[in-house]
Amino acid sequence: MIVGVGIDVAAVDRFGEALERTPTLAERLFVDAELWLPGGGRRGVASLAARFAAKEALAKALGAPGGLSWTDAEVVQADSGQPSLRVRGTVAARAESLGVRGWHLSLSHDAGIASAVVIAEG
């Protein structure tokens, strides 16, 4: 049973400008594993914008309640490249209250836009 669906888009250039304007923003939005590529090097702006869109889409799938912590939702990537969500804290508590038992996530970025779709499944 689908508990919620969320979708979000982010303009990559605008997101990159926000990261430049506010040097601590990336650390407030992402956990270290999201910021860095496996094997080293910082993840690119388009990839980070897609991860930000995923967190926004996740909040929408949960009914967009206040009080969720950005870093309580983490986009993880399997060796195959498939993204998924790992939740804890405030996000896990809200998901549990709604009966969410699993997540589906799709990310994309092209033509200067990053997008994400999240399906919360009960």
Inter-helix orientation angle 45-61/12-21, to 10° = 100
Cβ 74 vs Cβ 58: under 8 Å? no
Strand pairing class (113-121; 102-110)? antiparallel
Question: How far is it, in rounded angstroms, from Cα 66 to Cα 35?
Answer: 24
Closest to 91 measured CA to CA, from 73, 117, 113: 73
To the question of whether residue 8 is assigned a binding role by annotation, the answer is yes
To the question of whether residue 79 is assigned a binding role by annotation, the answer is no
Residues annotated within the binding site are 8, 56
Residues annotated within the binding site for Mg(2+) are 8, 56
